Chain A
Amino acid sequence: GNSVTQMEGPVTLSEEAFLTINCTYTATGYPSLFWYVQYPGEGLQLLLKATKADDKGSNKGFEATYRKETTSFHLEKGSVQVSDSAVYFCALNTGNQFYFGTGTSLTVIP
């Protein structure tokens, strides 16, 4: 079946620290991979995506590389800011359905 597993939180970091949130997936076929972010009081919004193996998605200083050999799509940012505090969801799209991980809560303290 299709599923997404992401590291559990919550994660607390100091401003300017390095961030990694792990995500691995199981899928039939060739899915696209996504990271969605949910800021406090807001709906989920797309952060970045990658549509094929070895693609790197990037946005707002965040990056993730689609690794088919390790079935992973880890989210990274070199220097987090307080405004990055949110819940992050890894997801995959098989063509007619999206599957989401359980979310990782990130809090960045000044």
Chain B
Amino acid sequence: GAGVSQTPSNKVTEKGKYVELRCDPISGHTALYWYRQSLGQGPEFLIYFQGTGAADDSGLPNDRFFAVRPEGSVSTLKIQRTERGDSAVYLCASSLTAVSNTGELFFGEGSRLTVL
């Protein structure tokens, strides 16, 4: 597609449930990033992929969070046993490559997760 696509745009779930958030990056972009944005804050890094592999997952807050990108395109962020503190907007971004420090990120519109 023309831009980064994220689904669902809104997700309301109950505490303890499992959630999957999907990101479809810009075609040809090898780098894909997940960020979390809480109200009034800037995007907080979670994980990034270069191709199929997670190149840096140091931002994942705990082992309830996991992300995959099996074919080097679409990525899924998975959250197990959701907690109210997980409520936030989850942003996906892609970049042509992660190697250069001059590249820019292209963001999707985000998936707003609300855990009741």
Contacts and interface: CB of A to CB of B under 8 A. Distances in A.
Interface of A: 4, 29-32, 34, 36, 42-46, 49, 51, 89, 91, 93-103
B55 A43 contact: no
B20 interface: no
Given A43-B109, A44-B107, A45-B107, A95 B101 contact: yes
A86 to B, nearest CB: 14
Interface string B82-114: 000000000101000011111111111110000
Contact of A51 (B45, B91, B102, B105): B102
Contacts of B55: 96
A96 to B, nearest CB: 5
Contacts of A103: 40-42
B: interface residue count bin: 20 to 34
Nearest to B44: A100
Contacts of A44: 43, 91, 93, 105, 107
Contacts, number: 64
Interface of B: 4, 33, 35, 40-45, 48, 55-56, 91, 93, 98-110
Contacts of A94: 101
A46 B102 contact: no
Contact of A95 (B33, B99, B106): B99
Contact of B101 (A4, A32, A36, A43): A32
Nearest to A89: B42
A96 B104 contact: no
A100 B107 CA distance: 13
A43 B105 contact: no
B104 A97 contact: no
A102 B42 contact: yes
